[in-house]
A and B are shown apart, each in its own frame.
Chain A
Amino acid sequence: MHSPAGSRSDRPVSGRAPISVTRSERDLAVLTQGLTKLYRNPWTLKVTRGLEGLDLELPRGEVMGYLGPNGAGKTTTLKLLTGLLKPTRGAGWLLGESIERPASRRRLGFLPEQPYFYDYLSGMEYLVMAGRLSGLAAHDADRQAKLWIGRVGLGDRPGLRLRKYSKGMLQRLGLAAALVHRPELLILDEPMSGLDPFGRRDVRDLILEQKHRGVTVLFSSHILPDVELLCDRVAIVSGGRLSRVASVEEIVHGAAQRIEITCAVASTAEIPAPWRPALAREARPQGCLYVLEREALLDEVLAWLVQSGAGVRAVVPHRTSLETLLLSAATADGAPPREPESEPERRSA
């Protein structure tokens, strides 16, 4: 077994034996094994699960949406990966570097949820500082800052102090700060938050542009149409556990789960026995509704209905949507224990 970069993985977490990695550094941008975050109340000693046993693999160049209800563990995961939280158990690697080491963040661009900035700095000053802190040389940071402040639409007043920025402007600046040093991995927590539709469109374009450049993107969002549009895969977390990982292609363009066929009248013939497990009839005030749960039988069923004089009026396929997946994942785990609320969630509650 080889760890990333051909050497044994970094020092153990929480006293456990080192966890080895099988995939090579070249393939994976993000890798977690058993990543866990538990919170213990110092007074009651009660343990709350923020995240438990996360095993996640994100290949390079992929865009993954990280979904889940409020309090599911999304922000906890992103903060564990970016070093803001210390894991209770398990391990993680970003681009082959253990998340325990600051070097793992060298090629990372991170946008926290509702970013806060130093209000005494100007936008330009902040981007230059961000670039330099991520390892850019002074002249390079200056050049990149000028580039990105213009790209995110804040270039007309680069000297404006951040205390005068609106929420949307701050969000855009945060994106620029995440991109200023040409990262190979982007982790974005609610990147569309606070933006108007035009802003959201621009962020989508940015993410697509980065994807085409080969940058790996992991982002959390509640705006499911954006996730469907941008992501290759989605991971759904609920109650602090990874519930499901699925390809967006399969979800959006996969086989229909249920097809509703509206007819003018009920067919005179009985439903053939072999079809009965998959085909049901429901009376409607005007006509009849046939519900087919196997898309493979559609052609035969339609032919039978036409032949039997039912008068087919509409055929509506229902595929599993992201929303459905999300809701089913949430309800499958029951009421999820909430992760410790961050300030923005508390304010919005």
Chain B
Amino acid sequence: MNAGPVATRGAGAPAGGARAVHKRMMMAWMLALFFGVASYGMARTASQLVPHPHALEELSYYPSGAHLGVATLGHSESAADIAWLRAVQYYGGHRFTDNRFVRMEHVFDILTSLSPGFLPAYEFGSFALAQEGGDFPAAERLMLKGLEANPRSGRLAFQAGFLYFVKPGGRDFRSAARYFAQSARQPDAPPMAGRFAAFAEQQSGDLAVAYELWRQVALTSHNRYMRQIAEEQMDRIRDAIVSGRPQAAIKHMPTPIVILK
């Protein structure tokens, strides 16, 4: 059977046809280059003259992370990660400029609603709000939200205790002690949680509870140095109670303040 049709050049095709095509092609490339350079320049000028949205501005329009979660179609963890990247950029951007973190609570609220198990978000967000942000109540709200979502996290409970321990303007030893003790009861508690709980109770003035907590440390700690410290503190509490001077068992600690440079 015959093969398919074969393309042939028409008998009367002009010899200069290829040159005309080449010329038109070069013109098109030149035009593309010209318009490309022009639009590039225009974009650069516009970015300098026209105000553009700052990082995370768009997130401030979302009512809450709970509703945003529905829109992520099952990819809330990835959405939280992207929000985390933007949050870190936002923090860094303002930390080295105006030290104003107006939207930070809202951002971290969205982030942690998208991913309730994202512990570093609570930790970083709370301390940034409390320290640089100067908004301890917001920090407290964020941290308590984390604890509610992750009640068995010893790591987060310890951070909550520490948040109260270094509260700017006045340490809250009682709350710190409560959360350090909660942390010590969890399987993933940091090794120093028990010691911190005892110390915080002692600083809050509840010497009886503090004494008991130190006794637990002395009995359970695998670290000889820790056991030694625990026994020393127990001796100190005993001496203070016996001498009728409980203040002697409380160590004077400076009030935390935040200085942003």
A residues apposed to B, CB below 8 Å: 151-154, 156, 165-166, 168-169, 172, 196, 198-199, 202
Please measure, in the bound complex, the distance between the C-alpha atom of A153 and the C-alpha atom of B2, giving whole angstroms.
6
Which B-chain residue is minimally distant from A172 (CB atoms)?
Answer: B1
B5 part of interface (Cβ distance < 8 Å) = yes
One digit per residue, 1 when the CB lies within 8 angstroms of any chain A CB and 0 when it does not, for chain B 1-15 equals: 111110000000000
A151 proximity list for chain B (CB < 8 A)? 1
In the assembled complex, how far is the CB of residue B83 from the closest CB belonging to chain A, in whole angstroms? 42
A202 proximity list for chain B (CB < 8 A)? 1-2
Q: Top 6 closest A-B pairs, CB basis?
A: A153-B1, A166-B4, A169-B4, A202-B1, A198-B2, A166-B5
Q: Check B4–A165 contact: CB distance below 8 A.
A: yes
Please measure, in the bound complex, the distance between the C-alpha atom of A13 and the C-alpha atom of B4, giving whole angstroms.
45
Please measure, in the bound complex, the distance between the C-alpha atom of A81 and the C-alpha atom of B217, giving whole angstroms.
90
| Residues of B contacting A: mostly | loop
Please measure, in the bound complex, the distance between the C-alpha atom of A169 and the C-alpha atom of B2, giving whole angstroms.
9
In the assembled complex, how far is the CB of residue A334 from the closest CB belonging to chain B, in whole angstroms? 42
A-B contact count (CB 8 A): 22
Chain B, interface size category, equals: under 10
In the assembled complex, how far is the CB of residue B6 from the closest CB belonging to chain A, in whole angstroms? 10
Q: Which residues, 32 to 72 on B, are CB-close (under 8 Å) to A?
A: none
Q: Which of B1, B2, B3 has the most CB of A within 10 A?
A: B1
A168 proximity list for chain B (CB < 8 A)? 4-5
22 residue pairs of the A-B complex, CB under 8 angstroms, read: A151-B1, A152-B1, A153-B1, A153-B2, A153-B3, A154-B1, A154-B3, A156-B3, A165-B4, A166-B4, A166-B5, A168-B4, A168-B5, A169-B4, A172-B1, A196-B2, A198-B1, A198-B2, A199-B1, A199-B2, A202-B1, A202-B2
Please measure, in the bound complex, the distance between the C-alpha atom of A152 and the C-alpha atom of B2, giving whole angstroms.
8
Please measure, in the bound complex, the distance between the C-alpha atom of A172 and the C-alpha atom of B5, giving whole angstroms.
13
Which B-chain residue is minimally distant from A169 (CB atoms)?
Answer: B4
B3 proximity list for chain A (CB < 8 A)? 153-154, 156
B2 proximity list for chain A (CB < 8 A)? 153, 196, 198-199, 202
Please measure, in the bound complex, the distance between the C-alpha atom of A45 and the C-alpha atom of B4, giving whole angstroms.
47
Which B-chain residue is minimally distant from A197 (CB atoms)?
Answer: B2
Please measure, in the bound complex, the distance between the C-alpha atom of A169 and the C-alpha atom of B6, giving whole angstroms.
12
B4 proximity list for chain A (CB < 8 A)? 165-166, 168-169
A156 proximity list for chain B (CB < 8 A)? 3
Supply 7 further A-B pairs (C-beta < 8 A) apart from A154-B1, A156-B3, A168-B4. A152-B1, A153-B1, A153-B3, A154-B3, A166-B5, A198-B1, A199-B2
Which A-chain residue is minimally distant from B5 (CB atoms)?
Answer: A166
Q: Which residues, 214 to 229 on B, are CB-close (under 8 Å) to A?
A: none
Please measure, in the bound complex, the distance between the C-alpha atom of A291 and the C-alpha atom of B2, giving whole angstroms.
47
Which A-chain residue is minimally distant from B6 (CB atoms)?
Answer: A166
In the assembled complex, how far is the CB of residue A156 from the closest CB belonging to chain B, in whole angstroms? 7
Please measure, in the bound complex, the distance between the C-alpha atom of A198 and the C-alpha atom of B3, giving whole angstroms.
10
Please measure, in the bound complex, the distance between the C-alpha atom of A166 and the C-alpha atom of B2, giving whole angstroms.
12
In the assembled complex, how far is the CB of residue B187 from the closest CB belonging to chain A, in whole angstroms? 57
Please measure, in the bound complex, the distance between the C-alpha atom of A154 and the C-alpha atom of B3, giving whole angstroms.
7
Please measure, in the bound complex, the distance between the C-alpha atom of A199 and the C-alpha atom of B5, giving whole angstroms.
12
In the assembled complex, how far is the CB of residue B71 from the closest CB belonging to chain A, in whole angstroms? 37
Please measure, in the bound complex, the distance between the C-alpha atom of A198 and the C-alpha atom of B5, giving whole angstroms.
12
